[in-house]
Homo-oligomer: A and B are copies of this chain.
């Protein structure tokens, strides 16, 4: 890191900072500018060191040079991480398409949806059993019953299933029923939950927080991996900005940027990212063209009757259209969809 001293700092103050850096185990080098002294410090910083230095008299600011994450970083690992969810791979040549309703509402609704997803060429089924809802008066999910329905759908269709977990209790319950768990945007910095999923070995779909920087998002993945579970898939789902014409602003530049910074796979959620059914198809195309490893899409057998997020849910027919469009895109991105996907949706 680099310590910038104030223009008016005294020799004693500079000396004191140097001494402190020595004590903390840094090797230092002084750069004397025309107006200002800058001290380069080489070593393995911990954040508490920085705090201490930042408050020493004469110090103007500390400029960190190294990234704060290690395990998720591309610097430590050149090749892309490929994660297996059931028999589906995410992060390799395959485009992973996850689809299904926002919430599990009934056995019939979910099983119908699951077959529709399979028919359209989707590879993983989504459905929420625990729903974090802004209003206490909204539908909150079927919980255990929902998990059982998800498992039945997985067995019936042969496709793996993913569901959101919202605390340690729901995580423990979900482990017996699903093939991947999702940490939602609102829980991206629920560090207890991150640690808990880090202590399992189930694949984790980690959504970006609504106002999380890319660095914070990667740090959240670092939390999980540092506990021992390296099976993390990142999911861009839109950030909160001043623009209200869409529910969120889908930040697709995050896709190639995260792939540069990290070896982890990245998928995109254009349903939550836009909140607008009419924008899901073009943004699905855009996400894949930007280099995403897959998509997670909301599809409901009857969107008009959905208990949550109906306005952003595709109909089964629309999902087939999206899959058909995506298949035309494959040559441009050197990716594949499973043969049945392309055949069935063609």
In the complex, are the beta carbons of B32 and A42 less than 8 A apart? yes
A285 CB contacts on chain B under 8 angstroms:
289-290, 332-333
In this complex, what residue of B is CB-closest to A44? Answer: B34
Q: Does A175 contact B (CB under 8 A)?
A: no
In the complex, are the beta carbons of A223 and B136 less than 8 A apart? yes
A286 CB contacts on chain B under 8 angstroms:
252, 286-287, 289-290
In this complex, what residue of B is CB-closest to A315? Answer: B55
Q: Does A68 contact B (CB under 8 A)?
A: yes
Q: Does A282 contact B (CB under 8 A)?
A: yes
Q: Does A182 contact B (CB under 8 A)?
A: no
In the complex, are the beta carbons of A282 and B274 less than 8 A apart? no
A135-B47, A219-B135 given; A242·B240 CB < 8 A: yes
In the complex, are the beta carbons of B256 and A283 less than 8 A apart? yes
A167 CB contacts on chain B under 8 angstroms:
167-168, 190, 192
- Which of A54, A192, A286: most chain B CB closer than 10 A? A286
In the complex, are the beta carbons of B278 and A253 less than 8 A apart? no
Q: Write the A224-248 contact mask toward B (1 if CB under 8 angstroms, else 0).
A: 0011000000000001111111100
In this complex, what residue of B is CB-closest to A134? Answer: B219
In this complex, what residue of B is CB-closest to A68? Answer: B135
Q: Write the A1-31 contact mask toward B (1 if CB under 8 angstroms, else 0).
A: 0101001000000000000000000000101
A36 CB contacts on chain B under 8 angstroms:
65-66
Q: Does A346 contact B (CB under 8 A)?
A: no
In this complex, what residue of B is CB-closest to A328? Answer: B332
In the complex, are the beta carbons of B242 and A246 less than 8 A apart? no
A211-B242, A216-B134, A304-B56 given; A65·B252 CB < 8 A: no
Which residue of B189, B256, B310, B332 contacts A332 across the interface (Cβ within 8 Å)?
B332
Q: Write the A129-160 contact mask toward B (1 if CB under 8 angstroms, else 0).
A: 00011111111100000000000000000000
Cβ < 8 Å to B, chain A residues 237-267: 239-246, 249-257, 260
CB distance from A157 to the nearest CB of B (A): 26
A219 CB contacts on chain B under 8 angstroms:
134-136
Q: Does A273 contact B (CB under 8 A)?
A: yes
Q: Write the A303-325 contact mask toward B (1 if CB under 8 angstroms, else 0).
A: 11111111100000000000001
Q: Does A75 contact B (CB under 8 A)?
A: yes
A306 CB contacts on chain B under 8 angstroms:
51
Which residue of B136, B254, B278, B288 contacts A289 across the interface (Cβ within 8 Å)?
B288
In the complex, are the beta carbons of B138 and A47 less than 8 A apart? yes
**What are 7 A-B contacts with C-beta separation under 8 Å?**
A29-B31, A47-B138, A48-B307, A52-B304, A167-B168, A242-B242, A260-B278
User: With contacts A31-B40, A46-B137, A286-B287 known, what are 7 further pairs, Cβ within 8 A?
Assistant: A29-B31, A38-B40, A134-B219, A167-B168, A239-B249, A244-B244, A286-B286
Minimum-distance CB pairs A-B, first 8: A211-B211, A31-B40, A289-B289, A286-B290, A328-B332, A285-B289, A55-B304, A51-B310
